[in-house]
Structure 1
Amino acid sequence: MSTLQWTGLLTLAAFAGAVVPFQSAINSNLARALGHPLWATLASLLVSVLLLLPVILALRLPLPSMAFISKAPLWMWAGGAFGVCFVALAVVLLPKLGASGFVALALAGQVIASMVLDHFGLFGLVEKQLTVSRVSGAVLLIAGVVLIQFGQSAGRGLVPQ
C-alpha cells in the first residue's frame, strides 16, 4: 500500500473518531428535548437508516442473499445491538463525564477490547499477539485517560479567566 493510501486511511480513521463527540453531544441535547435518552437513540438510528438507504439505492447494491441471512450465526447480528449500546450510553454519559472524558474512556475500552480480539483472532480477525510494546501502549493510553478525567487542572481550565 502506498504512503498516499495509508495517509488516506489514517485520515478517514481519525475523522471517524472525530465525529463521535459531535454525535454524542448532539444526541445528548436531543435526549433532553425528547425527554429520554432512548428516544434520542432511536431518532439517531432512524436518521442513520434514512441517510443510508438512498446511498444504497444510488449505488444500486444488490440485495443480500436470503440464504445467508437465514443461516448466519446470531453473533453476526450483534453489531446493531452494540451500536444501540454505544449511542445510548454516549447520550447518558457524555453530559456527566464531558466530551473528552467520555471519548477517552470509550477509546480506552475500545483499545483493550481490540487487543483481546486481535490476540485471539476472534470473529475472523488476523491474530496479533500481545507484546510488551502493545501492552505498554494500552497502559499509556489508560494513564492518559486518568489524566484527562481526573488530572489537577480538570474543572479549572488552562486559560485564566
Structure 2
Amino acid sequence: MSLLDNVIFCAFICIVGGVATASQGAVNAKLGQYTGQGLSSTIVFCIGAITSCIYFLIEVKGRPSPDLPQTMALAPWWAWTGGVLGAAFVIITILALPKLGAGTTTAIIVCTQLVFSCVIDNFHLFGIPFRQYSPWRGIATVGLIGCVGVIAKF
C-alpha cells in the first residue's frame, strides 16, 4: 500500500500545497522587486525545473523506464501545456500581487480555480471523470464569489 492511498496524508499534502501556493506569489513578487518581473519568473522556473528533476530521479530510483519516449509520444497535445499554464500563473501573481495584495490575489485565483474545476468535472474535460455541477455546487460558487468580494473590500 502506498502512502498516497491514505486519505489523511493526501489531505495533509494538499494543505501544504495551499500554504506553498499562497506563499509563492508573495515570494515571487519580492524576488521580482530585486531582479525584474521577467527574470524573476525565469529564475523561479529554473529552480522549479531542478527541483522537479530531483523528484523525478527519486521517483524512478535513477532509472527511467526504457519505453518512456514511446509513452510520452502517446500524450495528447494539450498535456504538454502545463509549463505554459504554470508560467502564466507565476507571471500573473508577480504582476497582480503588488497591486491587489496577497489576500485578494489568492482569493480571486482560488475562487477561479474552484469554479473552473467544477466546469472540468461537469464537462469531463481533460479526461477527468464526470461529476455533475449540482445545485449545491452552484450555491458554493455564489458563496465563493461573495467571499472574494469581502476579502477584496476589507
- Tell me which interval the TM-score lies in, with the shorter structure as reference length: 0.7 to 0.9
Distance 1:81 1:137, change over 3 A: same
After TM superposition, the score normalised by the length of structure 2 is 0.87
1:48 aligns with 2:48: yes
Amino acid at match of 2:27: I
Distance 1:66 1:148, change over 3 A: same
**Candidates 76, 80, 83, aligned match of 1:73:** 76
Instruction: Give RMSD over aligned pairs.
Output: 1.7
The structure having more radius of gyration, on CA atoms, is 1
Q: Distance in 1 between matches of 2:142 and 2:124?
A: 21
1:71 is displaced (CA, Å) by: 4.4
Amino acid at match of 2:73: S
Secondary structure of the 2:101 match is helix
1:123 is displaced (CA, Å) by: 1.0
Amino acid at match of 2:49: V
After TM superposition, the score normalised by the length of structure 1 is 0.84
Q: Summarize the alignment of residues 115-154 of structure 1 with structure 2, pairs less than 5 Å apart.
A: 115-150=118-153, 154=154
Q: Deviations over 1:85-143 (max 9, x none)?
A: 00110111111111110110001110111011000111111100111101111110110
Q: Distance in 2 between matches of 1:57 and 1:10?
A: 25
- Comparing 104-113 with 44-53, which one deviates more in the overlay? 44-53
- Structure 1: gaps (5+ residues): 155-161
Q: Distance in 2 between matches of 1:90 and 1:144?
A: 19
Q: Distance in 2 between matches of 1:144 and 1:45?
A: 31
